[in-house]
């Protein structure tokens, strides 16, 4: 199951933000202590694996920005984090499509469900309504564009790093 795109080899690291407080606890929904710990463990894993990115995008929501910052500190300390208005929970992944086809740099994207699941499905099989991945808070999927196609390289869920 591959999707045809541009020819350069590029990796996308697609992360669902870490576990967040409930709206009742804090309407801004920052990361819980568990969410912070999971993001730190993931950042250590990525650093040990030699992952480096040239771009870090996150939604405007606090939990995504906090997750992106924790990950970027480990794998992209010199990269400025970018807030994107195209990766909120109910955004359309097709709006992201034109950007991903022109990318020539490895990129970390921190967002929300259902957007992240739909983006993976859209990039791989051009059908955002057929979930391919089972995200949970703090999960990451690595997609790689090779020979003009997107494919899943690997996926990690937080309990695998605890």
SS3 of residue 103 by DSSP? coil
- Interatomic CA distance for residues 84 and 14, integer angstroms: 14
Helix (H) / strand (E) element for 6: namely none
Average pLDDT for the chain: 92
Contact 64, 30 (CB under 8 A): no
Rounded alpha-carbon distances, angstroms, from residue 62 to 21, 65, 112: 11, 5, 11
Model confidence at 14: pLDDT above 60: yes
- State yes or no: pLDDT of 96 exceeds 80: no
pTM above 0.85, yes or no: yes
What pLDDT, on the 0 to 100 scale, is given for residue 159? Answer: 95
| CA distance linking residue 120 with residue 103, whole number of Å | 16
Residue 2 has pLDDT above 50, yes or no: no
Edge-first strand order for the sheet with 81-83 is 3-4, 149-156, 140-146, 10-16, 107-111, 55-58, 81-83
Answer CATH for 3-161 from 3.40.50.10470, 3.30.930.10, 3.40.50.1240, 1.10.10.10: 3.40.50.1240
Categorize the per-residue pLDDT at 106 as very low, low, confident or very high, splitting at 50, 70 and 90: very high
Q: Which of 11, 50, 45 is nearest to 142 (CA)?
A: 11
pLDDT at 1: 38
d(CA 44, CA 48): 6
Task: Report the share of the chain in percent with pLDDT over 90.
Answer: 82
pLDDT digit string, tens, across residues 28-69: 999 999 999 999 999 999 999 999 999 999 999 999 999 999
Q: Burial, 72: exposed, middle or buried (Cβ in 10 Å; 0-12, 13-18, 19+)?
A: buried
Looking at the predicted structure, is the pLDDT value of residue 146 above 90? no
Give per-residue pLDDT as tens, 113-133: 999 999 999 999 999 999 999
Q: 4 to each of 19, 43, 149, 151, how far by Cα in Å?
A: 33, 30, 4, 10
Confidence class for position 8, pLDDT limits 50, 70, 90: low
């Amino acid at each position: 199951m591959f999707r045809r795109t541009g020819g350069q080899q590029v990796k996308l690291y697609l992360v669902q933000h870490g576990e967040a407080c409930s709206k009742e606890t804090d309407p801004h929904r920052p990361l819980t202590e568990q969410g912070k710990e999971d993001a730190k463990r993931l950042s250590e894993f990525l650093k040990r694996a030699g992952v480096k990115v040239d771009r870090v995008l996150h939604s405007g929501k606090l939990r995504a920005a906090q997750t992106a910052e924790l990950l970027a500190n480990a794998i992209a300390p010199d990269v400025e984090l970018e807030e994107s208005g195209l990766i909120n929970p109910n955004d359309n992944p097709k709006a992201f499509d034109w950007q991903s086809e022109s990318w020539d740099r490895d990129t970390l994207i921190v967002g929300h469900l259902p957007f992240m699941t739909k983006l993976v499905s859209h990039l791989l099989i051009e059908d955002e309504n057929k979930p391919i991945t089972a995200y949970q808070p703090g999960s990451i999927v690595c997609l790689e564009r090779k020979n003009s196609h997107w494919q899943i390289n690997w996926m990690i869920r937080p309990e695998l790093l605890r």
